A and B are shown apart, each in its own frame.
Chain A
Amino acid sequence: MPSDTRRAVPAPVPMPERPFEEPWQAQAFAMAVHLSETGLFTWAEWTETFGTVLSMARTAGRPVDGAAYWEHWVTALEMLLAARGEAEKPALEALKEAWAEAYRTTPHGTPVRLGAS
């Protein structure tokens, strides 16, 4: 538990509230749900991993709320998939760079695809 427990809880926001601020957050959310439904991991394994990532971030004094929450979600997904041998770091790094390159080289108005070059 952090020693600073006096911070005010943000004021309640009237509903309805959009659950995701950006599409990647929704995709990351859906991947975790989907992979738990198809049995790659259980939801309990997911919450344990995600909880660990959040608490490590908190201990390190890094932000855990808002957009940071979803970044930690992605980190937990990468960790759990790496532990299952399904997502090695070099493969992910290469794909990430390939996507960035695809955005840089695809003209406006054209759908961005991998491997178009």
Chain B
Amino acid sequence: MANEQRKLQTKIMQEYYQLEKKNETKRPVVQNCLRAFLVGGIICSIGQAIQFFYMYFFHFTQQTAGNPTVATMIFLSMLLTGFGVYDRIAQFGGAGSAVPVTGFGNAVISAAIEHRTEGFVLGVGGNMFKLAGSVILFGTFSAFVVALIKTILIKWGGF
């Protein structure tokens, strides 16, 4: 599709495309993947340690310990974002720091910090969930769809 479109381009446009392709910085994909793997893995290991902490010292089972663990991880990432540490981790780890639930905390607080000059109500309050809002919306919607499929399978499929 892209190649067909390129054939229709003028000669100058094609030359510019070649020049652009020659000079653009190549993305270190393998390096980025490794960094994301390491950072994501470390974040998940910390999460696992927190889950074991809740299970061992409090009255939580493996299943119920998930809720306080998620809350703690989000809280920690919010604090780190406020202190400016999480930004550095994100610069190094990329998707490895954005995909775990800590990325949600980072998205909320970074938007709040960015808009604080616009006031507490219209600035912080109005823009806090600018990024995280889509996470909540699509998270809730996909949970609804999955629950619907599961219910249908269990009720009618006999699983």
A, B: real partners = no
Task: Mark A residues whose CB is within 8 Å of B.
Answer: none
Task: Mark B residues whose CB is within 8 Å of A.
Answer: none
